[in-house]
Amino acid sequence: MKEIYQVPTSQSLQGDVIISGAKNAVLPLMAATLLCRGISIINNVPQLDDVNTMAEVLRYLGAKVEHQNSSLTIDTRECDGYQAPYHLVTKMRASIYVLGPLLARLGQASVALPGGCAWGPRPVDLHIAGMQALSAKVELSHGNIHAHAGRLQGADFTFSISSVGATVNLLLASVLADGTTRLFNAAIEPEIDNLVDQLNAMGAQIFGKGTSTLVIEGVTELKAATIDAIPDRIEAGTYLIAGAITQGKVTVKQVQPAHLTALIDSLTATGTLICCEDDSITIDAQQRALQPISIKTGPYPLFATDLQPQWMALCVSLTGVSQVTDTIYPDRFQHVAELCRLGANIRVKGNTACIIGTPNLSGAPVKASDLRAGAALILAGLIASDYTEISDIHHLDRGYQNLIGKFATLGATIKRSHHPVATNQAIAAPLLSLCG
């Protein structure tokens, strides 16, 4: 029986929430351990389905992976597999991160094409072109990428689009290539810096961290290292928006405020008060009249596409007109129809959603089409009247550790239930009594 989240209308959220390590940092860090034979340790690793999926991929390749508390131990001493099959890759697109390291260390890799996702095509042509630039022979057949190389050869490669994933894969391949690689228009997301730190700790020679030109002097061997994953800026952003949407006061702890500048600027523009300390951010939206603010997503440090659906939930709930434009994923609007089921007024034209906000949302059964769409529905559900029931919540398990517990510390009583729900009205009475 499928599980759902039941989100009752919440009071203003109040309190502190500890932010976990970033899933989008941990996945490349895990793939990087394939570059050496040894025992690597990654700290600050969240308990998430995506981390479990990447662990499954590494185990399939021959690694031993243990996740205890928030530390991952990955033993690659007997890891010689080079095939990542479709049944694993289809669970998570980031499985393609094993392409670069397998090719670099073993000279061959066979990785299933990840395919599309909930909001449309997400090609991997740049990953493939990058490997070819490093002299790999790549063939696509039967839905798989088959790549061969003797030793990869360093080269210049320019990303035609800023791509986080392709930058990750090219870094993972080029560190063991023969000679110098120069990557131009490389992504500069903080998760890339985290990977560069790990690779350099393993003995790689990467220069230009934090810039869009990365120079890699290939080495012949890498050793295992220990690394801390950076805090999850998207999880932190989601809880900050939760503070704004419920007109509460929320502090996210164990974060790096510098990673959230675009969101902080936009939240400030709505009329909330934001206070940043070394490793925490407090949003105070209590008794403040907020206005919706238009945003446009872009590569870091611009507004993150992974916070676009949550931002839309905020705009939907504030009186006034705003626009949300996604320049990274022009089709990332699966949440729009579901937000409209809660009473939102949104029209999508091209890569822009025009929103006429209203504080009068009403709870309804809705579906999480993807991870951040699910997060947006939770946020909208907090201020919609009565109950919002969110199905397909497995998407949220990919990226939000202890979601119920964290919202509970802020005063929201979200419940996870196995029970199918016929109508909102049918469950309203018993659930209200459960939630006191």
Ligand X SMILES: C=C(OP(=O)(O)O)C(=O)O
Residues near ligand X (CB under 6 A):
24, 92-94, 117, 306, 371-372, 399
Give whichever of 58 and 92 is closer to ligand X, judged by the CB atom.
92
Give whichever of 93 and 127 is closer to ligand X, judged by the CB atom.
93
Helix, strand or coil, per DSSP, at residue 195: helix
Name the amino acid, one letter, at 399: G
Is there a contact between 27 and 195 (Cβ–Cβ < 8 Å)?
no
Q: Comparing C-alpha atoms, which of 97, 105, 112 is closest to residue 81?
A: 105
How far CA 164 is from CA of 62, 170, 256, in Å, comes to 26, 10, 19
93 is in an annotated binding site: yes
Sequential DSSP letters for 265-285: HHHHHHT-EEEE-SSEEEEE-
Give whichever of 15 and 330 is closer to ligand UD1, judged by the CB atom.
330
- Please report the sign of the dihedral spanned by the C-alpha atoms of residue 250, residue 256, residue 259, residue 262: positive
CB of 308 to ligand UD1, least distance (A): 9
Give whichever of 121 and 436 is closer to ligand UD1, judged by the CB atom.
121
* Strands 320-326 and 352-357, sheet pairing: antiparallel
CB of 303 to ligand X, least distance (A): 14
Sequential DSSP letters for 117-137: BTTB----HHHHHHHHHTT-E
Binding site for ligand UD1 (CB under 6 A): 24, 27, 93-94, 122-127, 161, 163-166, 305-306, 328-329
Q: Which residue is nearest to ligand X (CB)?
A: 306
Q: Is the preceding omega at residue 301 within 30 degrees of 0, hence cis? A: yes
Q: Which residues are catalytic?
A: 117
Q: Comparing C-alpha atoms, which of 121, 111, 105, 190 is closest to residue 147?
A: 111
Bridge partners of 264, per DSSP, are: none
CB of 296 to ligand X, least distance (A): 17
Is there a contact between 230 and 256 (Cβ–Cβ < 8 Å)?
yes
Q: Comparing C-alpha atoms, which of 370, 321, 335, 331 is closest to residue 352?
A: 331
Cα within 13 Å of Cα(168), Cβ side:
26
Biggest CA-to-CA distance, the chain: 69
Give whichever of 163 and 246 is closer to ligand UD1, judged by the CB atom.
163
CB of 294 to ligand UD1, least distance (A): 20
Give whichever of 335 and 341 is closer to ligand X, judged by the CB atom.
335
Q: Comparing C-alpha atoms, which of 34, 94, 99 is closest to residue 62?
A: 34
The residue behind tokens 């243990």 is: 66
Give whichever of 234 and 252 is closer to ligand UD1, judged by the CB atom.
234
23 is in an annotated binding site: yes
CB of 59 to ligand X, least distance (A): 19
125 is in an annotated binding site: yes
Of ligand UD1, ligand X, none, which one does residue 372 interact with (CB within 5 to 8 Å by kind)?
ligand X
24 is in an annotated binding site: yes
Helix, strand or coil, per DSSP, at residue 140: strand
Count the Cβ atoms, other than its own, within 10 Å of residue 77: 12
Of ligand X, ligand UD1, none, which one does residue 341 interact with (CB within 5 to 8 Å by kind)?
none
CB of 11 to ligand UD1, least distance (A): 31
Of ligand X, ligand UD1, none, which one does residue 371 interact with (CB within 5 to 8 Å by kind)?
ligand X
Name the amino acid, one letter, at 347: R
Sequential DSSP letters for 48-78: -HHHHHHHHHHHHTT-EEEEETTEEEEE-TT
CB of 394 to ligand X, least distance (A): 13
Annotated binding site: which residue ranges? Answer: 23-24, 93, 122-126, 306, 328
Can you say which residues are annotated as belonging to the binding site for UDP-N-acetyl-alpha-D-glucosamine? 93, 122-126, 306, 328
Pick out the residues of the known binding site for phosphoenolpyruvate.
Answer: 23-24
